[in-house]
Copies of this chain bind each other. A is one copy, B any other.
Amino acid sequence: MPRKIELFVPAITPFAADLSVDTERFVANAHRLIANGAHGLAPFGTTSEANSLSVAERMEALDALIDSGLDASLLIPGTGCCNAAETIALSAHATQRGCRGVLMLPPFYYKGVSDEGVFNAYAQVIEAVGPDLRVYLYHIPQMSGVAITLPLIERLIARFGDQIAGLKDSSGKWDNTAAVIAAFPQIDTYSASESMIPQNIAAGGAGCISASLNVNPTGIRALVDGLNGPNHDALHAQVSAVRTIFEGIPLIPAIKAAIAAQTGEVDYARVRPPFVDLGDAHADAVAEAVRIAGPQRPS
């Protein structure tokens, strides 16, 4: 059976004027993303400013998503915190709510730690949450400072079997993604850039979890559906054009500014510290990304 190819959006977290989580917009945006081509969501990822949210805020927002009727099996929320107690609480909550799995950062404050230490950290959480937990490992060393190495993945699979469900490779290094897919064909390996979708799928990967899916779900879905078809090159060019724009400006504020432009709701543009609202900076670039992404269906 060929692997199912899917697109999960690390959905942005909208904030109200007082910087509290704007749950209503969070839910509306989730339905918009699904309506426009995303297969599912990976909320509370890096792009979601998850690490600027408290545990309680994350749980409440996840509850609101699921209570709104979104199928929990389409959700892979981020749950990895620096300390085990919070990672366990978030992972147990997501598991109890029926989520497909959780996208789990390793503990990310301490640098230069060993594979054995990171293995122990994951093991502690998996054992505490129990056998229903499915873990998608999150490799983003440029933010976390802690790599998910191949020997670590091997050791985790040897110990926990299919509880290790997948990996998101945000390193931007295709050679690493290819090595993970080749060594561990039994797990779902996602690229973090839709520009790598053709390579990812050809190699046996599972698709993509990408920041720009927030803005360009239709275009990226069209690429996946039309892969190697007559429009392949044009579809790939559209996807790469949007991505290239965001690579040149502050990513998360720009993604939120673009959603504000797409929806006509300026409140989407707000970020929490340590980010700064994009404001009028890069307005032309954002407008161009929105133009290329094309019209969005309402949720």
Q: Is the CB of A274 within 8 A of B107?
A: yes
State the Cβ distance, A234 to closest chain B Cβ, in Å: 33
Q: Is the CB of A82 within 8 A of B51?
A: yes
Q: Which of A104-127 contact B (CB under 8 A)?
A: 106-111, 113-114, 116-118, 120-121, 123-124
Of A95-103, A140-148, A205-213, the stretch lying at the interface with chain B is: A140-148
Which of chain B's residues have a CB closer than 8 A to the CB of A83?
A: 51-54, 57
> Which single residue of chain B is at the shortest CB-CB distance from A53?
B83
Q: Is the CB of B52 within 8 A of A118?
A: no
> Which single residue of chain B is at the shortest CB-CB distance from A109?
B51
Summarize A's interface: helix, strand, loop or mixed.
loop
Q: Which of A128-184 contact B (CB under 8 A)?
A: 142-146
- Copies of the chain in the assembly: 2
Q: Is the CB of A118 within 8 A of B84?
A: no
Which of chain B's residues have a CB closer than 8 A to the CB of A25?
A: none
Q: How far is it, in angstroms, between the C-alpha of A86 and the C-alpha of B143 when the chains are bound?
A: 20
Q: Which of A62-81 contact B (CB under 8 A)?
A: 81
Q: Is the CB of A108 within 8 A of B111?
A: no
Whether A283 sits at the interface, judged by CB under 8 Å, is no
**A117 interface neighbour in B46, B57, B118, B273, Cβ under 8 Å:** B273
Whether A39 sits at the interface, judged by CB under 8 Å, is no
Q: How far is it, in angstroms, between the C-alpha of A143 and the C-alpha of B113 when the chains are bound?
A: 11
Whether A237 sits at the interface, judged by CB under 8 Å, is no
**A57 interface neighbour in B85, B106, B111, B120, Cβ under 8 Å:** B85
Q: How far is it, in angstroms, between the C-alpha of A121 and the C-alpha of B111 when the chains are bound?
A: 23
Q: Is the CB of B276 within 8 A of A107?
A: no
Q: Is the CB of A110 within 8 A of B276?
A: no
Contact mask for chain A residues 30-65; partner B; CB cutoff 8 A; 1 contact, 0 none: 000000000000000010000111101100000000
Q: Is the CB of B84 within 8 A of A143?
A: no
Closest 7 CB pairs of A and B: A51-B109, A121-B273, A117-B274, A120-B273, A54-B85, A113-B274, A51-B82
Chain A interface (Cβ within 8 Å of chain B)?
19, 46, 51-54, 56-57, 81-86, 106-111, 113-114, 116-118, 120-121, 123-124, 142-146, 272-276
Q: What are 13 A-B contacts with C-beta separation under 8 Å?
A: A19-B124, A46-B110, A51-B107, A52-B82, A52-B83, A108-B109, A111-B143, A114-B274, A117-B275, A117-B276, A118-B274, A121-B274, A123-B273
